[in-house]
Amino acid sequence: MLSLLIGVWVEAQPDWADLARQDIEFASQTLMENHPGPVNNLDPGFADRLGAARQSALALAARAETDLGYRAAVWHFGARFNDNHLGIGSFISSPGYRWPGQILVRTIDGEMRVASQHFEDGPPAGSRLVSCNGIDPDTLLRDREFRFGGVEARETDWILHAPRLFLDRANPFLEPLTSCRYIRPGETDAETYPLSWREVDIRDWMAHVDASRGGPQTYATGLQEFAPDQFWISLPDFNPDAGTQAELDAVIAEIQARRDELRAAERIVFDMRGNAGGSSQWGWQIASILWSEAYLAARSPGVPAIDWRVSADNLVHVEGIAQRALDRGNPDYAAHFSRVADAMRDALAHGEDLVRMQGNERVHPIPDGPYQARPSGADETAGNPVQAEVLFLNVGGDCSSACLDFADLVLSTETARMVGWMTGADSLYIEVRQVDLPSGQGRLGFPVKVYRGRARGDMEAYAPDVIYSGRDFSTAALQAWVLQLPQTGDARR
> Three-class SS string for 93-127?
CCCCCEECCEEEEECCCCCEEEEEECCCCCCCCCC
What's the pTM value of the predicted model, to 2 decimals?
A: 0.87
Radius of gyration (C-alpha) of the chain in whole angstroms: 25
- Count, residues in the chain: 493
Host H or E run for residue 198? strand 198-199
The tens-digit pLDDT sequence of the chain (493 residues) is 444 445 444 556 799 999 999 999 999 999 999 999 999 999 999 999 999 999 999 999 999 999 999 999 999 999 999 998 999 999 999 999 999 999 999 988 899 999 999 999 899 999 999 999 999 999 999 999 999 999 998 888 999 899 999 999 999 999 999 999 999 999 999 999 999 999 999 999 999 998 987 777 788 899 999 999 999 999 999 988 877 889 999 999 999 999 999 999 999 999 999 998 888 889 999 999 999 988 998 888 777 899 999 999 999 999 999 999 898 788 988 999 999 999 999 999 999 999 999 989 999 999 988 887 766 555 666 789 999 999 999 987 679 889 999 999 999 999 999 999 999 998 999 999 999 999 999 999 999 999 998 889 999 999 999 999 888 888 999 999 999 999 875 443 3
The Cα 459–Cα 429 span in angstroms is 10
The Cα 431–Cα 337 span in angstroms is 12
The residue among 85, 44, 36 whose CA lies nearest residue 305 is 36
Q: Identify the sign of the CA torsion 202, 208, 213, 216.
A: positive
The Cα 233–Cα 88 span in angstroms is 34
The Cα 291–Cα 315 span in angstroms is 35
The Cα 164–Cα 49 span in angstroms is 27
The Cα 239–Cα 276 span in angstroms is 9
Strands 416-420 and 466-467: parallel
* The predicted structure's pLDDT at residue 491: 44
The Cα 110–Cα 434 span in angstroms is 34
Partnered with residue 112 across adjacent β-strands are 106
The Cα 488–Cα 317 span in angstroms is 45
Count other C-beta atoms under 10 Å from residue 194's C-beta: 10
* The predicted structure's pLDDT at residue 315: 98
* The predicted structure's pLDDT at residue 492: 39
The Cα 286–Cα 392 span in angstroms is 13
Contact 462, 422 (CB under 8 A): yes
The residue among 3, 40, 26 whose CA lies nearest residue 452 is 40
Long-range CB contact pairs, 378-383, < 8 A, 24+: 378/294, 378/297, 378/298, 378/300, 379/294, 379/297, 379/298, 380/298, 381/298, 382/292, 382/294, 382/295, 382/297, 382/298, 383/295
* The predicted structure's pLDDT at residue 376: 58
Contact 72, 80 (CB under 8 A): no
DSSP label at 471?
Answer: S
At position 490, the amino acid (one-letter code) is: D
Partnered with residue 356 across adjacent β-strands are 307, 363
DSSP label at 373?
Answer: P
The residue among 472, 227, 259, 480 whose CA lies nearest residue 385 is 259
* The predicted structure's pLDDT at residue 374: 64
Host H or E run for residue 443? strand 442-452
Host H or E run for residue 223? strand 222-227
